[in-house]
Amino acid sequence: MQMPVPRTTVIARRAEILAALQAILPVDAVIEQASELKAYECDALTAYRCPPLAVVLPRTTEEVASVLKVCHQFGVPVIPRGAGTSLAGGSLPTADSIVVGIARMSAVLEVDFEDRLIRVQSGRTNLSVTGKISDEGWFYAPDPSSQLACAISGNIAMNSGGAHCLKYGVTVNNLLGVRMVLMDGTIMDLGGGHMDAGDLDLLSVVCGSEGQLGIVTEATLRILPKPEGARPILIAFDSASVAGACVSDIIRSGLLPVAIEYMDRPCIRACEAFAKAGYPDCEALLIIEVEGSDAEIAHQLGLIRALADTHAPREIRESRSAEESAKIWLGRKSAFGAMGQINDYMCLDGTIPIGELPHVLQRIGDLSQQYGLEVANVFHAGDGNMHPLILFDANKPGDLERCEKFGADILRLCVEVGGCLTGEHGVGVEKRDLMLVQFNRDDLEAQMLVKDAFDPHWLLNPAKVFPLEVSEARRSQ
Amino acid sequence: MTTLTMLSPSNENELAEILRGATGRLAIRGSATRHYPQEGTPLTTHAISGVQLYEPGALTLVARVGTPITEIDALLAQNNQRLPFEPMDHRPLLHTTGEPTIGGMIGLNHCGPRRLQVGSARDLLLGLRLVDGTGRIIKNGGRVMKNVTGYDLARLNCGARGGLGIITEVCLKVLPMPEATTTLALPETDPEQAVRTMAAALGSPYEVTGAAWDGATVLLRVEGFAQSVHYRTSRLAHLLPSAVSIEGNPWPAIRDCLRFADQKTDVWRVSLRASQGGLAARRLRDKGIDVQLDWGGALLWASTTSGTDLRMLLGRGYGHATLLRGNPGPTTPELEPQSAPVAMLSEQLRRSFDPRDLFRRS
């Protein structure tokens, strides 16, 4: 994976840039010691690292604006960073860049149950948004698996989803407004407490723009009353295609489960060895969760059971208590940990049309043999968002490269069957060089026009999303 | 306006060809259900039509821009599915004719009461193809539910009124029809109290899919499996003791704001915070202006005497007001003026995607 050659002219002025930043920020807000910079040299895509020129940790929108003004003036690339949990390298620095970390901006600014919204500083973690309103019976719906650690700013940058977005939608469907700072230091509000845009819907393109259009410092989020209850059912099948057909039947039936999760045999075995959730050893396992009152849950689970029965399942296990629910979810929730215990792994994130599931699983199996690397599949089946986990040994020379090639082949396959490269993790640097698999140059040119408007000098997170050769002329202007 | 031959490309390539060769402003329309005279050569997209793909088991539909909504509704109904966002039918309010198309729907993003629960067209839009003002064909998004690959130009173009390009094809998420629907009604003449009542319903776990106030009555809709609808309406009636279930379907009239259809007035569509909707509705009503609330108060409809500047009456700091019926003027533009940085960025985007001002509205 290539990164642009750092601008030596910027690096040469490091002392000057640091002095300018120190002049406008509190003393503890500028990090410049090599030992401290190490903490910011990568995000959750740990295979790639590079310490930045410096890191700043502002506390207010105005501080962010002054930092960006300075960086704009010096022509310094800026890497926005929330909690650093990106699996796609969204906040990977370059040696000539300033990282703007907004983890210190975590305040709740407003809660309004009558208008059903919460306004927070965007460094607040996803789970602590719900934490603030949970006692009153409310929640914020998008729930990426990193929700304990990840920041709302990163959720907005990557338009994060989660297991429950089948019913509640992803970040863009739950984001009402932002306050953001443009690269030249302009502070701008998009949206607010209202539900649609008055003219061009700039908010929708800011969401998912991977920190390339501006730095979001505040977010107004839609909140929802908690359901009366929720309960999962576990269904085991002997074949992937039968499990896939069952998912389609459920979706067509008018049932709206909050989650339909799928695990394949390698994943089931790994989770079972790790968490001992008591899963049956089968080819495909579905965990389906429904919500409502006890009677509504019983009714929906009854319908699911009846639909599943027409597909001759190996086993159906319906939760009858909180303990049983926890046990059904235990294995699924420990999937990543379980795989991590076996070996290093790379987590992919392509999406496919649901009907392509059996075919895609078959092809992934073939590729696994071809590359000689094991793969386990766990994914959000209701919306076709796959997370194949490829196992490799980071200490074995050549293994990472082989794994990356295998991963790229899987993502090409996702696009080939009508899906996309990334469903919820974002492009970052990880999938940047595959963008021409999904888009042609005109498609990418149109997207880059948007960046040109927001950030004409291409200083914000410039080496991400677009293949370097495609963005070259813009970045080197 | 001089009479000009209507351009009517039958496919995307023909459209791209026309746009590449265009020398002046174009007046774009679908089937003109919301059209009023504009400068420029008229161009209709209604011949770029037809459903391209429909997968009921994946809840996805791909249709060309000129496909009539009735054709889509009929196809979906065969599989007991529907467009969940309740596209507004502008004809009664604007006294127009023609068949509403999916392209007009996406271009405007005017959606009905279910916005509260499932979102608007913008939320259910999975991808699109369009031709920009240089004649460049662009695809964005796709046909899967979760997709964060690259910038979301699909949603940027939803509600953009064709200002950045002409959409040729859209992919939408559809949803199953519910087994049962019940509407509860509560008498209420005070709009602020109406919003508080709707907030109580919307703050409950009973999944209300419509919450509107028509000036005299609060209407609440519950949809789903019959058993569940029965349970949830009974819980809501317990929460709001004066609520009774009513026969009939008042929701299309709310969606299209039919109450104002035959009035000789301007009609404004105002998007704002729900609680602001209640307050604004009360103030406007006290000035003798007829009002209606949808989306739990977050969508305010106002019927004003011709030439009234509703924005002046609303004051500052609300969401935005659109003059949907009436003659826009220099002090009362159709769309709410934006803050300086937002206006500047929007202008820059228009210039980038439409450098020759083909789609520019005067």
Per residue in B226-263, pLDDT tens?
A: 999 999 999 999 999 999 999 999 999 999 999 999 99
Judge whether B138 is closer than 8 Å to chain A, CB to CB. Answer: yes
Please indicate whether, in this complex, the C-beta atoms of B153 and A446 are within 8 angstroms of each other. yes
End-to-end CA, chain B: 13
Find the mean pLDDT for residues B19-46: 87
Cβ distance B102 to B171 under 8 Å?
A: no
* Angstroms from B209 CA to nearest CA on chain A: 13
Contacting residues of B for A225, CB less than 8 Å apart:
202-205
The CATH architecture of the domain made up of A108-225 is 2-Layer Sandwich (3.30)
Instruction: Enter the DSSP assignment of A92.
Output: -
What local confidence, expressed as pLDDT, does residue A340 receive?
Answer: 86
CB neighbours of A131 closer than 8 A, spacing ≥ 6?
none
Please indicate whether, in this complex, the C-beta atoms of B144 and A419 are within 8 angstroms of each other. yes
Position B4 confidence tier, pLDDT thresholds 50, 70, 90: low
Q: What are the tens digits of pLDDT across the range B175-206?
A: 999 999 999 999 999 999 999 999 999 999 99
Quickly count: other Cβ atoms within 10 Å of residue A26's Cβ: 11
- What token pair was written down for A128? 């602590």
Judge whether B135 is closer than 8 Å to chain A, CB to CB. Answer: no
Give the CATH class of A343-434. alpha beta
**Minimum-distance CB partner of A195 among B195, B271, B322:** B271
Quickly count: other Cβ atoms within 10 Å of residue A336's Cβ: 17
* Angstroms from B145 CA to nearest CA on chain A: 5
What local confidence, expressed as pLDDT, does residue B1 receive?
Answer: 46
Maximum Cα–Cα distance across chain B: 65
Rounded to the nearest 5°, which phi and psi values hold at A122? -80, -5
**Cα angle: A186, vertex A188, A189; to 5 degrees:** 170
Please say whether the dihedral angle defined by the alpha carbons of residues A464, A386, B148 and B319, taken in this order, is positive or negative: negative
Please indicate whether, in this complex, the C-beta atoms of A200 and B109 are within 8 angstroms of each other. no
Mutate which of A86, A115, A411, A434 to disrupt the B interface (most B C-beta within 10 Å)? A115
Q: What is the DSSP string of A229-289?
A: -EEEEEEEES-HHHHHHHHHHHHHTT---SEEEEEEHHHHHHHHHHH-------SEEEEEE
Please indicate whether, in this complex, the C-beta atoms of A251 and B346 are within 8 angstroms of each other. no
CB neighbours of B186 closer than 8 A, spacing ≥ 6?
B197, B217, B218, B220, B240, B242, B243, B244
Which residues in A145-174 are b (16+ Cβ under 10 Å) and which e?
bbbebbbbbbbbbbbbbbbbbbbbbbbbbb
Please indicate whether, in this complex, the C-beta atoms of A225 and B138 are within 8 angstroms of each other. no
Show the low-confidence residues of chain A (pLDDT under 70): none
Which residues in B10-35 are b (16+ Cβ under 10 Å) and which e?
eebeebbebbeebeebbbbbbbbbbb
Task: Please state at what angle helix A240-252 crosses helix A294-309, rounded to 10 degrees.
Answer: 130
Contacts for A139-144 with beta carbons within 8 Å, 24 or more apart?
A: A139/A223, A139/A224, A139/A226, A140/A174, A140/A221, A140/A222, A140/A223, A140/A224, A141/A165, A141/A168, A141/A169, A141/A174, A141/A222, A141/A224, A142/A168, A142/A169, A142/A170, A142/A171, A142/A174, A144/A424
- What token pair was written down for B268? 């404004």
Mutate which of A119, A134, A176, A200 to disrupt the B interface (most B C-beta within 10 Å)? A200
Q: Where are the domains of chain A?
A: 8-103+449-475, 108-225, 230-335, 343-434
**Minimum-distance CB partner of B143 among A353, A445, A453:** A353
Nearest alpha carbon to residue B112 among B7, B258, B225, B11: B258
Contacting residues of A for B155, CB less than 8 Å apart:
172, 201, 204-205
Contacting residues of A for B59, CB less than 8 Å apart:
251-252
Position B16 confidence tier, pLDDT thresholds 50, 70, 90: very high
Nearest alpha carbon to residue A142 among A126, A121, A125: A126
Please indicate whether, in this complex, the C-beta atoms of A193 and B272 are within 8 angstroms of each other. yes
Contacting residues of A for B348, CB less than 8 Å apart:
452-453
Judge whether B143 is closer than 8 Å to chain A, CB to CB. Answer: yes
Mutate which of A133, A204, A262, A445 to disrupt the B interface (most B C-beta within 10 Å)? A204
What local confidence, expressed as pLDDT, does residue A252 receive?
Answer: 86
Residue of B nearest to A159 (CA): B148
* Angstroms from B340 CA to nearest CA on chain A: 9
Which residues in A234-270 are b (16+ Cβ under 10 Å) and which e?
bbbbebbbbbbbbbbbbbbbbbbbbbbbbbbebbbbb
- What token pair was written down for A212? 């390339």
What whole-number distance in Å separates Cα of residue B218 and Cα of residue B75? Answer: 33
Our separate counts of H helices and E strands in chain A read 19, 18
**Minimum-distance CB partner of B148 among A159, A293, A435:** A159
Q: Under the phi-then-psi rule, with left for phi > 0, alpha for psi from -120 to 50, and beta for the rest, what region is A75?
A: left
Please indicate whether, in this complex, the C-beta atoms of A447 and B153 are within 8 angstroms of each other. yes
Task: Show which of residues 4-43 on chain B sit within 8 Å of chain A, judged by CB atoms.
Answer: none
Q: What are the tens digits of pLDDT across the range B99-120?
A: 999 999 999 999 999 999 999 9
SS3 state of residue A74 = helix
Q: Which helix (H) or strand (E) holds B128?
A: strand B125-132
What whole-number distance in Å separates Cα of residue A181 and Cα of residue A71? Answer: 13
Please say whether the dihedral angle defined by the alpha carbons of residues A106, A432, A463 and A190, taken in this order, is positive or negative: negative
Task: Please state at what angle helix B226-239 crosses helix B191-202, rounded to 10 degrees.
Answer: 130
Q: What are the tens digits of pLDDT across the range B119-174?
A: 999 999 999 999 999 999 999 999 999 999 999 999 999 999 999 999 999 999 99
Give the CATH class of A230-335. alpha beta
Q: Which residues pair with B220 in a beta bridge?
A: B184, B211
Between the alpha carbon of residue A89 and those of residues A215, B147, B274, the distances in Å are 17, 17, 39
Rounded to the nearest 5°, which phi and psi values hold at A429? -95, -25
Q: What are the tens digits of pLDDT across the range B289-336?
A: 999 999 999 999 999 999 999 999 999 889 999 999 999 999 999 999
Please indicate whether, in this complex, the C-beta atoms of A252 and B79 are within 8 angstroms of each other. yes
Q: What is the amino acid identity at position B133?
A: G
What local confidence, expressed as pLDDT, does residue B37 receive?
Answer: 57
**Cα angle: A431, vertex A434, A437; to 5 degrees:** 140
Judge whether B134 is closer than 8 Å to chain A, CB to CB. Answer: no
Percent of residues, chain B, with pLDDT higher than 70? 98
Please indicate whether, in this complex, the C-beta atoms of B152 and A208 are within 8 angstroms of each other. yes
* Angstroms from B110 CA to nearest CA on chain A: 9
Mutate which of B76, B147, B192, B322 to disrupt the A interface (most A C-beta within 10 Å)? B147
Judge whether B199 is closer than 8 Å to chain A, CB to CB. Answer: yes
Please indicate whether, in this complex, the C-beta atoms of A353 and B55 are within 8 angstroms of each other. yes
Contacting residues of A for B296, CB less than 8 Å apart:
116
End-to-end CA, chain A: 23
SS3 state of residue B195 = helix
Nearest alpha carbon to residue B312 among B291, B337, B288, B290: B337
User: Do A8-103+449-475 and A343-434 share a fold?
Assistant: no
Please indicate whether, in this complex, the C-beta atoms of B345 and A454 are within 8 angstroms of each other. yes
Cβ distance A3 to A429 under 8 Å?
A: yes
Task: Show which of residues 41-60 on chain B sit within 8 Å of chain A, judged by CB atoms.
Answer: 55-60
The CATH architecture of the domain made up of B51-176 is 2-Layer Sandwich (3.30)
The CATH architecture of the domain made up of A8-103+449-475 is 2-Layer Sandwich (3.30)
**Minimum-distance CB partner of B228 among A114, A199, A296:** A296
What whole-number distance in Å separates Cα of residue A453 and Cα of residue A206? Answer: 12
Please indicate whether, in this complex, the C-beta atoms of B225 and A383 are within 8 angstroms of each other. no
Contacting residues of B for A201, CB less than 8 Å apart:
109, 122, 155-156, 158-160
Please indicate whether, in this complex, the C-beta atoms of B349 and A200 are within 8 angstroms of each other. yes
Between the alpha carbon of residue B199 and those of residues A452, A461, B212, B244, the distances in Å are 42, 41, 11, 17
Quickly count: other Cβ atoms within 10 Å of residue B73's Cβ: 13
What whole-number distance in Å separates Cα of residue A348 and Cα of residue A407? Answer: 7
Alpha helix segments (H runs only) across A163-239: 165-168, 171-174, 202-206
Q: What is the DSSP string of A399-420?
A: HHHHHHHHHHHHHHHHHHTT-B
Judge whether B181 is closer than 8 Å to chain A, CB to CB. Answer: no
CATH of domain B180-255: 3.30.70.2190
Q: Where are the domains of chain B?
A: 51-176, 180-255
* Angstroms from A59 CA to nearest CA on chain B: 23
Contacting residues of B for A465, CB less than 8 Å apart:
150-151
